[in-house]
């Protein structure tokens, strides 16, 4: 039905109210079984069915008859069906309703004599869906071989949804009765994922996609509710249109093609119709979105086709956005506990930044990758984060206690008290170590044999500036300017860029800051920047390549940097330089901007240093040509390793497959260091390696004396430096460079241990 057509109120609203009233009145006083019996009786009567039964899934996976009106009461808690067994098992397996006029003649029909169901021909079953999983089945049956009409099928799904939520919220059955029922997970569980951000914490789960409370499920006025739904859909469509047209919208951080897909879904008649139908059957608009989303999830849960999974993902995202439009709020206004562990399937950096930082203890993601933006932001905010936790969302309920173990890459759901105690003592040890690092804050990083190492930190957000004082870093060795672009809904203007760079320089005072120009493209797509779809984005038009193709963009950034640094030192470097010509061209743009400012009499930086990042292996064989043109270089080991080993850093199947502590990688790093020393070009390492004590030990042994580490790595690396004797280590390292092993990690560890280095 289109907009403006007459909406007829109908459906199970009255019935649902009766159920809820019966439950509310009976709560506490009446045993759970009697409550369930009451529910099936009300449903049977209202749907003019001779039978109504509720099956719930046990932990074993079997569907157990929990209550029935019309079948033999003796069968309750005795009849159990395996997944896929019988029609009830089929409903659960398919996660879809099944309607048959003559059930016994269906091949899946499984006759259970104890139920006495042989005289019933018509069968209508709907799954109780939660989080895209069937946690039970609701069935009505009639003696006569009748067909249930579309409205009845729709209605039973709505009733099933309300039942699923009521069961899971503990309203229908007490927790004790749910012990062995797979509705709301309650056992302790350990999930293995991947470390995305260091640290250890525990707290209460806050679901990014918050579940609806049972009292939010039913609407009082379906006509008004449908109008609300339509309005929200209109708002959703126009916000997507606004983004597609490049103007400011509400959906920040989303790639262009994804927006097009969203637009397609938002217009999808099937989706719209399902939502309208659900609202007409008595659900609120929010519950309708949730129901349709659950049905989608359940239907595609087992799809292996990456295309379908991707679409399902887009669809989820769109449903979330619609829920947000309906709620009209933002996560920052949500009432969070003080020990919130945020739980999401995936998260954009902007979403994460909208939560109040001081309440976030940790972040758990079902998907994502360590190089994803949310993970980078989590590291910057020093929030422990574990990702790639399969099945996470279905195993957690809002408020569950959880441990985020960013040291091992694991999550503990509803941990036992002994587990919690163990974590608390590990946290105390960490706290003690942090206190030790604080003591080192103002001590210069000098090795035992007197080598001075400059220890800098990586930054990219305004919050990082606090870390500068807290860690005692001597400056910012890598300022990732793209973060400002990534958390913005539109291209940051010249004034906004200038303001941020000024803020950074002011906070740094006389400590040096190295700004890296925009490193976008690849996986860092900005929705407001048109970009072509690329087959291999990591090898595509990213970073300086994009900057050179769109010089206006790069020049605007350089202008902002020059303005912000007027009268003081400015250090700028270009990412992803693959050829000497690229560096020349980029440097020329700096000259052009300096001339522009000079002609207008604008003050320039007191000192300007322009450098290149060494991230592309091609440069290794052209350092003799590059180094004389640069004022400094910085080795971006994250990308250099990805390109050297041809292993996508965002792909968990290969990202950890090769070890940077291996002869080829170490020889490459040694060669860069040597060539820089020969030409007196200052060189630093600013990849994640520089922030891990063992890897940093290898780097300083190779001769690097300038490291830029993530904030969390500064203390541990400084402690390592203070305990190291490089002269002794160098001899051991030279031997390892000649090894034929694929990794010499173990050997470097032994070397460090032998020399009493704190790694
Ligand atoms: C690197 O590649 O090592 C680096 C520091 O840059 P980013 O991680 O931002 O690509
Ligand atoms: Mg890089």
Q: What is the DSSP string of 104-165?
A: GGSTT----GGGT-TT--EEEEEEEEETTEEEEEEEEEESS--PPPHHHHHHHHHHHHHHHH
* Per-residue b or e along 476-495, where b marks 16 or more CB atoms closer than 10 Å to that residue's CB: bbbbbbbbbbbbbbbebeee
pLDDT score, position 310: 67
Q: Is the CB of 638 under 6 A from ligand 1?
A: yes
Question: What is the position in ligand 1's atom list of the atom closest to the CA of 371?
Answer: 8
**Of residues 190, 205, 194, 192, the one with CA closest to residue 415:** 190
Say how many Å lie between the CA of residue 480 and the centre of ligand 2.
Answer: 10
Say how many Å lie between the CA of residue 485 and the centre of ligand 2.
Answer: 16
Which residue's alpha carbon is at the smallest distance from atom 1 of ligand 1? 636
Instruction: Report how far apart, in Å, the C-alpha atoms of 200 and of each of 58, 372, 422, 713 are.
Output: 33, 20, 12, 15
**Of residues 392, 256, 275, the one with CA closest to residue 326:** 275
**Of residues 170, 141, 167, the one with CA closest to residue 47:** 141
Q: What is the pLDDT of residues 433-467, one digit of tens each?
A: 889 999 999 999 999 999 999 999 999 887 788 88
**Of residues 164, 158, 103, 178, the one with CA closest to residue 128:** 164
- Does residue 755 register a pLDDT over 80? yes
601 Rama sector, left if φ>0, alpha if ψ -120 to 50, beta otherwise:
left
Is residue 669 within 8 A of residue 661, CB to CB? The reply is: no
Helix (H, G, I), strand (E, B) or coil at 103: helix
Helix (H, G, I), strand (E, B) or coil at 487: coil
**Of residues 701, 756, 671, the one with CA closest to residue 453:** 701
Report the mean per-residue pLDDT for the chain.
Answer: 87
Mean pLDDT of 89-109: 90
Which CATH number is associated with domain 222-328? 1.10.274.10
State in Å, rounded, how far the first CA of the chain is from the last one. 67
Could you give the count of Cα atoms lying within 13 Å of 260 in the half-sphere of its Cβ? 4
Q: Which of 371, 480, 522 to mutate to test the pocket of ligand 1 (most atoms within 8 A of CB)?
A: 480
Q: How far is CA 714 from the centre of its chain?
A: 26
**Of residues 408, 330, 406, the one with CA closest to residue 375:** 406
pLDDT score, position 243: 66
* Per-residue b or e along 656-671, where b marks 16 or more CB atoms closer than 10 Å to that residue's CB: eebbbbbbebbebbbe
Q: Please give the Cα distance from 292 to 283 (Å, whole number).
A: 11
Q: Is the CB of 686 under 6 A from ligand 1?
A: yes
Report which of residues 262 and 498 the model is more confident about.
498
DSSP annotation of 390: T
pLDDT score, position 177: 55
Question: Burial of 549 by CB count in 10 Å (0-12 exposed, 13-18 middle, 19+ buried)?
Answer: exposed
Residues 6+ apart with CB under 8 A from 674: 703
**Most confident segment among 192-206, 269-283, 487-501:** 192-206
Q: Which of 574, 634, 686 to mutate to test the pocket of ligand 1 (most atoms within 8 A of CB)?
A: 686
Which residue's alpha carbon is at the smallest distance from atom 6 of ligand 1? 636
Mean pLDDT of 136-165: 89
Q: What is the pLDDT of residues 351-381, one digit of tens each?
A: 787 788 889 999 999 988 776 667 877 887 8
Mean pLDDT of 23-29: 61
Mean pLDDT of 562-574: 98
Q: What is the pLDDT of residues 189-200, one digit of tens each?
A: 999 999 999 899
Helix (H, G, I), strand (E, B) or coil at 632: strand
Question: What is the position in ligand 1's atom list of the atom closest to the CA of 482?
Answer: 9
Q: Is the CB of 117 under 6 A from ligand 1?
A: no
**Of residues 359, 354, 227, 349, the one with CA closest to residue 284:** 227
* Strands, sheet with 63-69, edge to edge from the N-terminal-most edge strand: 80-81, 63-69, 51-57, 133-142, 122-130, 98-100
Sorting pLDDT into bands at 50, 70 and 90, what band is 171?
low
**Of residues 86, 222, 95, the one with CA closest to residue 157:** 95
Q: Please give the Cα distance from 508 to 208 (Å, whole number).
A: 35
Instruction: Report how far apart, in Å, the C-alpha atoms of 649 and of each of 310, 645, 655 are.
Output: 20, 10, 5
How many other β-carbons are positioned within 10 Å of the β-carbon of residue 82? 14
Q: Which helix (H) or strand (E) holds 411?
A: strand 410-413
Q: Provide CATH 3.50.30.10 ranges for the chain.
A: 189-212+333-429
Q: Which helix (H) or strand (E) holds 38?
A: helix 32-46
Is residue 477 within 8 A of residue 514, CB to CB? The reply is: yes
Q: Which architecture does CATH list for 189-212+333-429?
A: 3-Layer(bba) Sandwich (3.50)
Is residue 96 within 8 A of residue 299, CB to CB? The reply is: yes
Q: Please give the Cα distance from 489 to 494 (Å, whole number).
A: 15
Apex 288 CA angle, 282 and 294, nearest 5: 130
Radius of gyration for the chain, computed over Cα atoms and rounded to the nearest angstrom? 30
Mean pLDDT of 719-745: 96
Q: Positive or negative, the Cα torsion across 367, 368, 374, 380?
A: positive
**Of residues 227, 214, 431, the one with CA closest to residue 326:** 227
Sorting pLDDT into bands at 50, 70 and 90, what band is 28?
low
Give the ligand at the shortest distance from the Cα of 376.
1
Is residue 93 within 8 A of residue 101, CB to CB? The reply is: no
Helix (H, G, I), strand (E, B) or coil at 190: strand
* pTM of the predicted protein model: 0.70
Question: What is the position in ligand 1's atom list of the atom closest to the CA of 636?
Answer: 3
Q: Is the CB of 615 under 6 A from ligand 1?
A: yes
**Most confident segment among 68-77, 259-268, 318-327:** 68-77
- For the record, the structure tokens of 7 come out as 């909406």
Is residue 754 within 8 A of residue 719, CB to CB? The reply is: no
Q: Provide CATH 1.10.274.10 ranges for the chain.
A: 222-328
Q: Which of 636, 640, 647, 710 to mutate to test the pocket of ligand 1 (most atoms within 8 A of CB)?
A: 636
pLDDT score, position 2: 38
Is residue 511 within 8 A of residue 549, CB to CB? The reply is: no
pLDDT score, position 282: 84
List 191's β-bridge partners, or say none: 411
- For the record, the structure tokens of 538 come out as 């990591």
pLDDT score, position 151: 85
Say how many Å lie between the CA of residue 348 and the centre of ligand 2.
Answer: 19
Apex 645 CA angle, 641 and 649, nearest 5: 60
Residue ranges in 362-416 assigned as alpha helix (H): 373-381, 392-395
Q: Please give the Cα distance from 207 to 260 (Å, whole number).
A: 27
Q: What is the pLDDT of residues 598-649, one digit of tens each?
A: 999 999 999 999 999 999 999 999 999 999 999 999 999 999 999 999 998 8
- For the record, the structure tokens of 103 come out as 């059930």
**Of residues 423, 425, 384, 420, the one with CA closest to residue 400:** 420
- For the record, the structure tokens of 133 come out as 């999983």
Q: Is the CB of 480 under 6 A from ligand 1?
A: yes
Q: Which helix (H) or strand (E) holds 609?
A: strand 607-614
Is residue 342 within 8 A of residue 326, CB to CB? The reply is: no
Q: Is the CB of 639 under 6 A from ligand 1?
A: yes
Q: Provide CATH 3.30.450.40 ranges for the chain.
A: 5-178
Q: What is the pLDDT of residues 647-699, one digit of tens each?
A: 988 777 788 889 999 999 999 999 999 999 999 999 999 988 999 999 999 99
Is residue 147 within 8 A of residue 101, CB to CB? The reply is: yes
Q: Which of 638, 660, 685 to mutate to test the pocket of ligand 1 (most atoms within 8 A of CB)?
A: 638
399 Rama sector, left if φ>0, alpha if ψ -120 to 50, beta otherwise:
left
Q: Please give the Cα distance from 175 to 35 (Å, whole number).
A: 15
pLDDT score, position 604: 97
Which CATH number is associated with domain 5-178? 3.30.450.40
Say how many Å lie between the CA of residue 375 and the centre of ligand 1.
Answer: 13
Percent of the chain with pLDDT over 90: 52
Active site (catalytic) residues? 373, 686
Give the ligand at the shortest distance from the Cα of 370.
1
Q: Please give the Cα distance from 569 to 689 (Å, whole number).
A: 27
Q: Is the CB of 519 under 6 A from ligand 1?
A: yes
Q: Please give the Cα distance from 193 to 345 (Å, whole number).
A: 13
How many other β-carbons are positioned within 10 Å of the β-carbon of residue 14? 11
Is residue 715 within 8 A of residue 440, CB to CB? The reply is: yes
Is residue 214 within 8 A of residue 171, CB to CB? The reply is: yes
Q: How many helices (H) and strands (E) does the chain have?
A: 26, 22
Q: What is the pLDDT of residues 300-309, one digit of tens each?
A: 766 667 677 6
Question: What is the position in ligand 1's atom list of the atom closest to the CA of 458?
Answer: 5
Residues 6+ apart with CB under 8 A from 676: 623, 627, 633, 682, 683
Which residue's alpha carbon is at the smallest distance from atom 3 of ligand 1? 636
List 127's β-bridge partners, or say none: 137
How many other β-carbons are positioned within 10 Å of the β-carbon of residue 467? 22
């Amino acid at each position: 039905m289109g907009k403006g057509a007459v909406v007829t109120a109908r459906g199970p609203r009255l019935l649902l109210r009766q159920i809820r009233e019966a439950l509310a009145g009976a709560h506490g006083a009446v045993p759970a079984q009697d409550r369930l019996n009451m529910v099936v009786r009300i449903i049977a009567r209202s749907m003019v069915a001779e039978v109504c039964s509720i099956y719930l899934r046990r932990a074993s996976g079997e569907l157990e008859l929990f209550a029935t009106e019309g079948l033999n009461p003796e069968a309750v808690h005795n009849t159990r069906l395996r997944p896929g067994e019988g029609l009830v098992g089929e409903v659960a397996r398919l996660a879809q309703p099944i309607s048959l006029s003559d059930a016994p003649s269906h091949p899946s029909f499984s006759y259970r004599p104890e139920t006495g169901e042989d005289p019933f021909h018509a069968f209508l079953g709907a799954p109780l869906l939660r989080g895209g999983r069937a946690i039970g089945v609701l069935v009505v049956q009639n003696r006569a071989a009748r067909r249930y009409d579309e409205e009845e099928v729709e209605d039973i799904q709505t009733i099933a949804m309300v039942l699923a939520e009521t069961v899971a919220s503990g309203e229908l059955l007490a927790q004790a009765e749910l012990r062995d029922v797979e509705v709301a997970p309650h056992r302790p569980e350990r999930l293995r994922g991947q470390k995305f951000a260091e640290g250890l914490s525990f707290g209460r789960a806050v679901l990014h996609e918050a579940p609806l409370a049972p009292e939010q499920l039913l609407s009082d006025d379906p006509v008004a509710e449908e109008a609300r739904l339509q309005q929200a859909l209109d708002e959703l469509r126009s916000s997507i249109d606004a983004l597609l047209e490049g103007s400011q919208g509400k959906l920040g951080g989303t790639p262009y093609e994804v927006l097009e897909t969203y637009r397609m879904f938002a217009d999808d008649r099937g989706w719209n119709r399902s939502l309208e139908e659900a609202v007409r059957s008595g659900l609120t608009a929010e519950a309708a979105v949730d129901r349709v989303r659950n049905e989608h999830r359940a239907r595609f849960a087992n799809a292996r086709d990456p295309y379908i999974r991707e679409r399902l993902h887009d669809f989820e995202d769109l449903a979330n956005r619609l829920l947000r439009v309906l709620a009209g709020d933002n996560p920052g206004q949500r009432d969070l506990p003080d020990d919130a562990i945020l739980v999401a399937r995936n998260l954009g950096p902007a979403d994460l930044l909208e939560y109040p930082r001081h309440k976030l203890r940790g972040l758990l993601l079902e998907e994502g990758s360590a190089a994803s933006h949310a993970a980078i932001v989590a590291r910057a905010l020093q929030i422990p984060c574990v990702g790639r936790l399969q099945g996470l969302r279905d195993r957690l309920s809002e408020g569950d206690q959880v441990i985020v173990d960013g040291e091992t890459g694991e999550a503990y759901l509803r941990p036992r008290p002994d587990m919690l105690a163990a974590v608390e003592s590990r946290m105390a040890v960490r706290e003690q170590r942090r206190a030790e690092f604080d003591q080192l804050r103002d001590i210069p990083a000098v090795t035992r044999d007197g080598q001075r190492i400059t220890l800098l930190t990586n930054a990219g957000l305004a919050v990082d500036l606090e870390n500068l004082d807290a860690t005692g870093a001597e400056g910012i060795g890598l300022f990732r300017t793209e973060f400002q672009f990534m958390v913005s809904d539109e291209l940051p203007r010249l004034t906004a860029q200038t303001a941020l760079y000024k803020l950074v320089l002011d906070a740094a005072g006389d400590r040096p800051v190295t700004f890296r120009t925009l490193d976008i493209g690849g996986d860092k797509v900005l929705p407001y920047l048109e970009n072509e779809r690329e087959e291999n984005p990591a090898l595509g038009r990213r970073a300086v390549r994009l900057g050179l193709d769109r010089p206006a963009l790069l020049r605007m950034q350089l202008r902002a940097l020059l303005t912000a640094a007027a009268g003081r030192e400015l250090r700028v470097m270009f990412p992803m330089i693959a050829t000497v010509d690229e560096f020349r061209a980029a440097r020329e743009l700096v000259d052009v901007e300096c001339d522009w400012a000079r002609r207008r009499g604008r003050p320039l930086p007191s000192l300007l240093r322009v450098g290149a990042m060494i991230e592309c292996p091609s440069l290794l064989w052209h350092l003799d040509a590059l180094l004389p043109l640069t004022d400094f270089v910085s080795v971006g080991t994250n990308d250099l390793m990805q390109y050297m080993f041809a292993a996508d850093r965002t792909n968990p199947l290969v990202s950890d497959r090769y070890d940077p502590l291996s002869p080829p990688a170490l020889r490459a790093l040694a060669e860069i260091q040597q060539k820089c020393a020969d030409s007196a070009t200052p060189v630093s390492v600013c990849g994640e390696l520089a922030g891990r004590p063992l890897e940093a030990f290898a780097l300083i042994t190779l001769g690097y004396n300038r490291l830029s580490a993530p904030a969390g790595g500064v203390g541990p690396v400084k402690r390592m430096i203070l305990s190291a004797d490089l002269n002794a280590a160098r001899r051991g390292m030279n031997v390892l460079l000649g090894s034929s092993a694929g990794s010499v990690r173990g050997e470097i560890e032994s070397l460090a241990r032998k020399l009493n280095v704190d790694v």
